[in-house]
Amino acid sequence: MERDNCRGMAFERQERERIWPSADYSQQVERLRRSIGSEIYLVELKPEDIHMGIRYSDTPFELIDVLEFPRPDPARGLAPHLILLDDGRGINLGRIARITIDTPYSPPVENILYQESFLMDRLLLRERRLSEASIAERSKLLLGRFLGKRIDKRLTRE
């Protein structure tokens, strides 16, 4: 339990200390601009109240344009650019974990146009450890938050 708390605090510290947008963000935006008119595949983030959803899509979308976003906000995960797709959507790059060409799953490096490495490494590709104890602990914490309880040791096993 204590080790998990340390890991969680380290994750939060790394998240605060990381550069935003990432160091290679500008290069990735240029790669996207060079790919306007191509079919792309998305891995979208779906943030919700109690968890972060991920949507892998095997549907190709045509990349219509890469536009500047006038009000980026790192606290809310809004990046300085958005992409315009042929289905009429404009999606902020802060809501996308990866954009690829030619294949939606396990793409080779040369097919990755955009990737938020921090999200891919820390949220999507990291090892998962589910057990009855971890599920019960997380459920108690979420239930406590839902009921307005202060999260402390009374809600978790010692």
Tens of pLDDT, residues 104-143 = 888 999 999 999 876 666 665 555 566 788 788 888 888 8
**Cα-based angle 22, 15, 129 (whole degrees, multiple of 5):** 115
Tens of pLDDT, residues 7-65 = 444 444 445 445 567 778 899 999 999 999 999 999 988 877 777 777 888 999 999 99
Where on the phi/psi map is residue 77: left (φ > 0), alpha (ψ -120 to 50), or beta? left
Tokens of 29: 């935006």
Residue 8 is assigned to a structural domain of this protein? no
- Give me the domain span that covers residue 139: 127-158
Residue with the two structure tokens 């980026």: 72
Same domain, 31 and 79: yes
> What is the number of structural domains in the chain?
2
Report the distance separating Cα 111 and Cα 124, nearest Å.
18
Phi then psi for 43, rounded to 5 degrees? -120, 105
Report the distance separating Cα 125 and Cα 154, nearest Å.
32
Same domain, 151 and 107: no
Same domain, 154 and 96: no
Q: How confident is the model at residue 4 (pLDDT cuts 50, 70, 90)?
A: very low
